[in-house]
Amino acid sequence: MTGVVPRAIAEHVPVVVLWAGLCFFLWMFLVAESLERTAAAGRFLSADGTDAAALAERYSYEWRHGMVGDWPLFVPGFFAVAVAAVLWSSGRPTRGLLVEGSLALLLALLAARLLTPLGTRWLVPTFERDTGLSLAGSPMGATWTGALPGVLTVMSWTALIVAIQRWVTGATIWPLLIPLGCYALLAALRPGDFGDLVRPWAQALWRFEGVAIVSTALIPLITAILWWHCVRVRLSAAR
């Protein structure tokens, strides 16, 4: 009996890790939307007539991708979800993935929504510091509608990671059709976003910025570690 409880807890650790990664990803999206709504409502004052709404839209995009605001890594949410998704999906049946993944996503969205005000209180002073604008009044909150692009983005990314994991462990490429469909929809809804991400990243690399160098180096490193993990799971299942 003593070993049953720890084993049961250990079995649920991966889905908790997934939930945490999804929550962090969606939280960044919602906090960024809160900044955009605050600027669109005219609550940032500018001494030189700067378009606060346009500036906040650009800043929030770069912030949620870790490119401004003193993040230690670019795209931290994508890194977190990628690692969590591989650890969670390894060895689980497809039906279990759908049920657990949907539940984790729903609970992550609720938690991220509750935690958004804390993030907004952190982001607004950072935005003021970096832009010279000042907040007049209180910041606006995020919306459930604004969370939809974030939900679709994290679903597409998670589906891609799980499909690759299934491809490595099951030697079938068909699961990749699902994330490809998701990304086609995402590209139609949010055209140009990929270029907006690649350009500042490439520029930061050109300037030899430490965060850009470390973030770029982590991509092949984490990919190799996760690939090795998937291969090990496949070999264990074949025994």
Instruction: State how many domains the chain has.
Output: 1
Q: What are phi and psi of 42, to 5 degrees?
A: 75, 30
Cβ–Cβ contacts within 10 Å for residue 160, how many? 19
Residue 36: name the closest of 22, 53, 20 by CA.
53
List per-residue pLDDT tens for the chain, 239 residues long: 444 445 555 667 889 999 999 999 999 999 999 999 999 998 998 777 778 899 999 999 999 999 998 899 999 999 999 999 988 987 777 788 889 999 999 999 999 999 999 999 999 999 999 998 999 889 999 999 888 889 999 999 999 888 888 887 776 677 778 888 877 877 777 765 666 778 889 999 999 999 999 999 999 998 888 888 777 777 666 56
Name the residue range of residue 177's domain: 4-238
What pLDDT is attached to residue 207? Answer: 93
Rounded to two decimals, the pTM is 0.89
Looking at the chain, the number of H-run helices and the number of E-run strands are 8, 2
What pLDDT is attached to residue 94? Answer: 78
Residue 50: name the closest of 121, 128, 154, 155 by CA.
128
